[in-house]
A and B are shown apart, each in its own frame.
Chain A
């Protein structure tokens, strides 16, 4: 694994330049701005592979274990490649009681993916998340920035189909 982590040549070099410029432009204690750097890196690369985390650790002069600790703490950071659409199913108490688990299972079935892993067609990454604070809309599913409330199990097929077709904006 050591070799794989130390090898940053497999990363998009243009992306690294962008990231370097971002880090360069940070003011004050850079180590304290780790979360911003990670957020920015994920925007550039789509996810945070191990060698990228190591690269960031070096740029910020901090241990890679600490970087990895932060990345694995926040569910919005991903160490795996992510699909075009991130489907988050809220598993807070209200959503759970209102059948979120069934919704999640159905979405996984439809997208032919495993929880947290990108679907083979590269379109979806389905994950469960903690309470997102929209209990009045339970059960809640978010797909990228869009929020779907009061999701009924028989509506799930339609929502996912629209994303597959690429006309998700049609309501």
Chain B
């Protein structure tokens, strides 16, 4: 078909425009520079996450030809369509839809976790809602606080189904589904099971797209405040790679602002005794993981080796592919490694009883909360990590303490676990872990210096990527997937013997940790994620040392304490085990 046959003409608010056949009214209007409010609609098309359920009816506009209201998100433009987005009928139609939603919504905005970050609230403001004209029955469902990671309040749900799209179509986990019908519909787990009993991976992508406070993180800030105010406790904090390129958004900076120094400063002001860097743990993870990879290549498997830093991914493989549990690396995640060493090596060096140490992690992730509670991730009865705060929770704590974030001076991390390389920085984005591992594995295998450290083939935003790295004549076949649906495809091919890789990196969230469920809300704007990723690579580029094994403090830890990568002590403190879990 010629392009011209594919084009159709329509009018938006009196403006003639030409669009491709199949274009939605919403996109056609955007092309004409006309904004139509939306609520349930979500379009992260470059990440393969599109929710077009036309459930909320907040985006209705008038089709002048028929005089009818149509949902602009799902209605396709037809040739000769005459759209009015601001006719009285359209405006009133949208108001009515919104008021009906509000009539069945709790009015507790002031104390809601989503206050000032809620799309329903913003729309009520935008549409100048001053009164809700409808009064009727309200939903009354129990609030679910049974998982360590996700807080679910169905009474705040507006049935947009974004979470269902993420959980089912993007992540293929399928824990959430609409149950019942009509007014009784509720987005719930199978049989209304407790979240903690389901196969939820706690990736938190449902949280990151929920427009209201129906799905949120389990807030740990009050527990952390308690520890901070207990003089007997030595409270240590660590900050994940992806937090430093996102927290700024909560304080009015543009997406991608790098605020590492200010974060360290803020954490000291909040009262943390020691501020460590999860990036140090990332470097250590790489050294252990590269060693494991080299051992597996030389020892004949099992291949491929899969990265194990992402806790949602670990949950996923335990539940969905229990037959493949010998392939993930046994390395603990960076947060656990830092926690583990803080309560052993650091405690020993500073004469602190590990019992008195509280380890807090600042993570872009809600799954890290569940990871921290894994029995396997403890040493001598002490959990490696005691509390996990998401980027958003940290922002709230900083605001709560009335700290003026923008005027903070830059501070640097404490030693012994505060030094990091560029290789650790890129852990926060898809492709980063395997690139960091490749830099170290290359030198371990070849014994030669790696001159060109940028493995650009491993970067990008495609859901599944493949690349080959040449090492001394041997070719290392690398696979990368982000989002669990893509991970599933990759794993099915491995299980069925259809593809052969040596090393695979998997991250559960779109774009990797930068798009984590604990990050400042992107509100459907994927360019925010891209900006964060760019900054991650910027940190790497600007780092003096860009290979994990060259981190001077990592070398020191091995010299003083761990001996060599993969040593008995390293195995004890830095490695873990996995177990099959029934899918439900």
| Residues of A near any B CB (own CB < 8 A) | 1-2, 5-6, 50, 53-54, 57-58, 62-69, 72-73
Contact A64/B584 with A69-B179, A73-B180 known, Cβ cut-off 8 Å: yes
Cβ–Cβ < 8 Å partners of A2 in chain B? 193, 197, 584
A6 CB to nearest B CB, Å = 6
A71 CB to nearest B CB, Å = 9
Considering the complex, give the chain A residue whose CB is closest to the CB of B582: A6
B421 CB to nearest A CB, Å = 41
Q: List 23 A-B contacts (CB under 8 A).
A: A2-B193, A5-B191, A5-B584, A6-B584, A53-B191, A54-B190, A57-B190, A62-B174, A63-B168, A63-B173, A63-B177, A64-B191, A65-B174, A65-B175, A65-B176, A65-B198, A66-B174, A66-B177, A68-B177, A69-B177, A72-B180, A72-B181, A73-B178
Measured in the bound complex, the distance between the Cα atoms of B44 and A35 in whole Å is 32
Cβ–Cβ < 8 Å partners of A62 in chain B? 174
Measured in the bound complex, the distance between the Cα atoms of B190 and A57 in whole Å is 11
Measured in the bound complex, the distance between the Cα atoms of B190 and A5 in whole Å is 10
Measured in the bound complex, the distance between the Cα atoms of B178 and A92 in whole Å is 24
Instruction: Count how many chain B residues have C-beta atoms less than 8 Å from C-beta atoms of the other chain.
Output: 22
Cβ–Cβ < 8 Å partners of B173 in chain A? 63
Considering the complex, give the chain B residue whose CB is closest to the CB of A58: B583
* Contact assessment for A1 and B178 in the assembled complex, using a CB-CB cutoff below 8 Å: no
Contact A65/B582 with A1-B197, A72-B179, A73-B180 known, Cβ cut-off 8 Å: no
Cβ–Cβ < 8 Å partners of A67 in chain B? 190
Any A CB within 8 A of the CB of B454: no
Known: A1-B194, A62-B174. 14 other contacts (CB 8 A): A1-B191, A5-B191, A53-B191, A63-B177, A63-B190, A64-B190, A65-B177, A65-B188, A65-B189, A68-B177, A68-B191, A69-B177, A69-B179, A72-B180
Cβ–Cβ < 8 Å partners of A66 in chain B? 168, 174, 177
Interface positions, chain B 149-203, Cβ under 8 Å from A, are 168, 173-181, 188-191, 193-194, 197-199
Contact A54/B584 with A65-B189, A69-B179 known, Cβ cut-off 8 Å: yes
B181 CB to nearest A CB, Å = 5
Top 10 nearest A-B pairs (CB, nearest first) are A63-B174, A65-B177, A69-B177, A65-B190, A64-B190, A2-B197, A68-B190, A72-B179, A72-B180, A50-B191
Measured in the bound complex, the distance between the Cα atoms of B584 and A63 in whole Å is 7
Measured in the bound complex, the distance between the Cα atoms of B198 and A67 in whole Å is 14
Considering the complex, give the chain A residue whose CB is closest to the CB of B196: A2
Measured in the bound complex, the distance between the Cα atoms of B180 and A40 in whole Å is 20
Considering the complex, give the chain A residue whose CB is closest to the CB of B197: A2
Cβ–Cβ < 8 Å partners of B582 in chain A? 6
* Contact assessment for B197 and A53 in the assembled complex, using a CB-CB cutoff below 8 Å: no
| Max count, chain B CB within 10 A of own CB: residue among A2, A54, A67 | A2
Cβ–Cβ < 8 Å partners of A65 in chain B? 174-177, 188-190, 198
Cβ–Cβ < 8 Å partners of B177 in chain A? 63, 65-66, 68-69
Measured in the bound complex, the distance between the Cα atoms of B188 and A68 in whole Å is 10
Measured in the bound complex, the distance between the Cα atoms of B188 and A100 in whole Å is 32
* Contact assessment for B193 and A1 in the assembled complex, using a CB-CB cutoff below 8 Å: yes
Interface string of B220-238 (1 = CB under 8 A from A): 0000000000000000000
Measured in the bound complex, the distance between the Cα atoms of B194 and A2 in whole Å is 9
B571 CB to nearest A CB, Å = 33
Cβ–Cβ < 8 Å partners of B194 in chain A? 1
Cβ–Cβ < 8 Å partners of B176 in chain A? 65
Measured in the bound complex, the distance between the Cα atoms of B189 and A65 in whole Å is 6
* Contact assessment for B175 and A63 in the assembled complex, using a CB-CB cutoff below 8 Å: yes
Considering the complex, give the chain B residue whose CB is closest to the CB of A61: B583
Considering the complex, give the chain B residue whose CB is closest to the CB of A57: B190
Cβ–Cβ < 8 Å partners of B197 in chain A? 1-2
Find A69's partner among B178, B198, B584 (CB 8 Å cutoff).
B178
Cβ–Cβ < 8 Å partners of A57 in chain B? 190
* Contact assessment for B189 and A73 in the assembled complex, using a CB-CB cutoff below 8 Å: no
Measured in the bound complex, the distance between the Cα atoms of B198 and A64 in whole Å is 10
B182 CB to nearest A CB, Å = 9
Cβ–Cβ < 8 Å partners of B180 in chain A? 72-73
A56 CB to nearest B CB, Å = 11
| Max count, chain A CB within 10 A of own CB: residue among B173, B177, B188, B583 | B177
Cβ–Cβ < 8 Å partners of A1 in chain B? 191, 193-194, 197
B55 CB to nearest A CB, Å = 15
Cβ–Cβ < 8 Å partners of B181 in chain A? 72-73
B53 CB to nearest A CB, Å = 14
Considering the complex, give the chain A residue whose CB is closest to the CB of B191: A50
Cβ–Cβ < 8 Å partners of A72 in chain B? 179-181
Measured in the bound complex, the distance between the Cα atoms of B47 and A85 in whole Å is 51
B365 CB to nearest A CB, Å = 23
B444 CB to nearest A CB, Å = 40
Measured in the bound complex, the distance between the Cα atoms of B584 and A58 in whole Å is 9
A93 CB to nearest B CB, Å = 15
B120 CB to nearest A CB, Å = 24
A43 CB to nearest B CB, Å = 22
Measured in the bound complex, the distance between the Cα atoms of B198 and A5 in whole Å is 11
Measured in the bound complex, the distance between the Cα atoms of B584 and A57 in whole Å is 9
B152 CB to nearest A CB, Å = 13
Measured in the bound complex, the distance between the Cα atoms of B194 and A53 in whole Å is 17
Measured in the bound complex, the distance between the Cα atoms of B582 and A73 in whole Å is 26
A1 CB to nearest B CB, Å = 6
B167 CB to nearest A CB, Å = 8
| Max count, chain A CB within 10 A of own CB: residue among B173, B188, B190, B199 | B190
B165 CB to nearest A CB, Å = 13
Measured in the bound complex, the distance between the Cα atoms of B188 and A135 in whole Å is 35
Considering the complex, give the chain A residue whose CB is closest to the CB of B193: A1
B166 CB to nearest A CB, Å = 13
Interface positions, chain B 520-535, Cβ under 8 Å from A, are none
Cβ–Cβ < 8 Å partners of A6 in chain B? 582, 584
Measured in the bound complex, the distance between the Cα atoms of B197 and A68 in whole Å is 16
Contact A53/B190 with A63-B174, A68-B177, A69-B179 known, Cβ cut-off 8 Å: yes
Measured in the bound complex, the distance between the Cα atoms of B168 and A54 in whole Å is 17
Measured in the bound complex, the distance between the Cα atoms of B139 and A27 in whole Å is 41
Measured in the bound complex, the distance between the Cα atoms of B584 and A5 in whole Å is 8
B172 CB to nearest A CB, Å = 9
Measured in the bound complex, the distance between the Cα atoms of B101 and A170 in whole Å is 52
A85 CB to nearest B CB, Å = 24
B198 CB to nearest A CB, Å = 8
A78 CB to nearest B CB, Å = 13
Considering the complex, give the chain B residue whose CB is closest to the CB of A68: B190
Considering the complex, give the chain A residue whose CB is closest to the CB of B174: A63
Interface positions, chain B 279-316, Cβ under 8 Å from A, are none
Measured in the bound complex, the distance between the Cα atoms of B191 and A82 in whole Å is 18
Measured in the bound complex, the distance between the Cα atoms of B191 and A17 in whole Å is 24
Interface positions, chain B 568-584, Cβ under 8 Å from A, are 582-584
A50 CB to nearest B CB, Å = 5
| Max count, chain A CB within 10 A of own CB: residue among B179, B189, B199 | B179
